[in-house]
Amino acid sequence: MEEKHNDDVIGRARVKDTPELEAYYKELETLGAGALWTVANDIEPWEPRPSSVPMLWKYDDLRELVLKSSELVTPEQAGRRVVYLVNDKRKDVSAAVGWLYTGIQVTRPGESTSAHRHKASALRFIMEGEGGYTVVDGNKITFEVNDFVITPNSTWHEHGVAPDGKTCIWQDGLDIPLVNALEANDYAVFDGKQPLDFPVNHSPLSYSASGLIPADKVWDKPYSPLFKYSWKQVYPALLEAGKVNEGNPYDGILMHYTNPATGGHVMQTMGASMQLLRAGEHTKAHKHTGSFVYQCAKGKGYSVIGGK
């Protein structure tokens, strides 16, 4: 980001070092201390300073290597068999951008992961396959291509593919780098398989009806009670919205996945959206303070990032 401000103003640190000051700094250092004015302008920039760089990962390039991982290691060996995507400038924290992690997971028919949980929140976007499922705190949920699935923080969860299904590949998104930066992450493995406490697809069947939530249930958790957002409902909703809205000049038709109980984001530390750009549409240049990972669900297009 271009520097547009001058630090040589009242209110910013502009102390000129002297031998006396340098000796003073050394005295402070021996006590595990320091003078704020020596670092203030760096730790409190005028504007956000992204440490990540723009990245483009092509599924056509990665797909065969993702599938190859299923020949080399088993879910039992790997825990989670994932090819993660790492930013050139965020390798130290295994982040794709900012404080977000993403990867591509593959599961073959008849395979399943062990149930586990962690403080990091997770989401999934299903890319290909049939017969896949996830179990979240006793809720077994089946999914199809382009479905969006959440496994909120500290929920027991596992994934698998039915024996008569087809190899499933999905994108994982987690806030692992953020939770690690806060020194709050943990990990636990369930002893055996989770008991199924609800009928299959209880969550989406109970909460995915447009504008309706169960009247006899109180949802008091900080994340969405809807664990799967079906593409069969999402895509028609985008098309219908596109018929009656010109769309935002910066994002076209942009709709957020939401918590039906609150109207807010699906989880507290990560959000997700689905965007529709119509043929010939070219949005205006813009920037965010938040970090984004984009996944193309349908169609072909291009992005211009930093003028490239």
Q: What's the pLDDT at 306? A: 86
Average pLDDT on 27-38 reads 98
With cut-offs at 50, 70 and 90, classify the pLDDT of residue 4: confident
Q: Identify whether the C-beta of residue 224 lies closer than 8 Å to the C-beta of residue 261.
A: yes
- How many beta carbons lie within 10 A of that of residue 3, not counting itself? 10
Mean pLDDT of 208-235: 94
Buried b (16+ CB within 10 A) or exposed e, 201-214: bbbbebbbeeeeee
**Considering Cα of 192, then 197, then 198, then 203, what sign does the dihedral take?**
negative
Number of CB atoms found within 10 A of residue 98's CB: 20
Average pLDDT, the chain: 95
Q: Pick from 145, 147, 143: which is nearest to 134 by CA?
A: 143
| Contact by Cβ (8 Å): 165, 239 | no
CB 219 within 8 A of CB 227: no
Q: What stretch(es) of the chain map to CATH 2.60.120.10?
A: 59-276
Q: Is the dihedral of CA 133, 96, 262, 234 positive or negative?
A: negative
Structure tokens that stand for 168 in this block = 């499933």
Q: What is the mean pLDDT of residues 170-192?
A: 96
pTM: 0.93
What pLDDT band is residue 192 in, cutting at 50, 70 and 90?
Answer: confident
pLDDT for 1 equals 43
Q: What is the DSSP letter of 201?
A: T
pLDDT in tens, 66-100: 999 999 999 999 989 999 999 999 999 999 999 99
- How many Å apart are CA 215 and CA 86, to the nearest integer? 44
Bridge partners of residue 124, in order along the sequence: 149, 172
Closest CA relative to residue 275, chosen from 238, 243, 301: 238
What distance in Å separates the CA atoms of residue 155 and residue 259, rounded to the nearest whole number? 16
Q: Once rounded to an integer, what is the mean pLDDT over residues 30-36?
A: 98
Task: Answer yes or no: is pLDDT of 148 > 50.
Answer: yes
% of residues, the chain, pLDDT over 90: 92
| pLDDT number for residue 2 | 53
Is 175:269 a contact under the CB 8 Å cutoff?
yes
Q: Let me know: does 86 contact 96? Beta carbons within 8 Å.
A: yes
Whether pLDDT at 7 is above 50: yes
Burial (CB count <10 Å: 0-12, 13-18, 19+), residue 123: buried
Q: Which tokens hold the place of 222?
A: 């900080």
**Residue with more model confidence, 212 or 33:** 33
With tokens 């919205």, the residue in question is: 241
- For the residues 174-196, what does the mean pLDDT come to? 95
Digit-coded pLDDT (tens) for 113-135: 999 999 999 999 999 999 999 99
Helices (H), the chain: 19-30, 40-43, 59-72, 75-78, 176-181, 202-207, 231-244
Q: What is the pLDDT of residue 3?
A: 55
In DSSP terms, 256 is beta-bridged to 273
Tokens matching residue 87? 């930013």
Angle at CA 203, nearest 5°, toward 227 and 268?
35
CATH for the 59-276 domain, from 2.60.120.10, 2.40.10.10, 3.90.1150.10, 2.70.98.10: 2.60.120.10
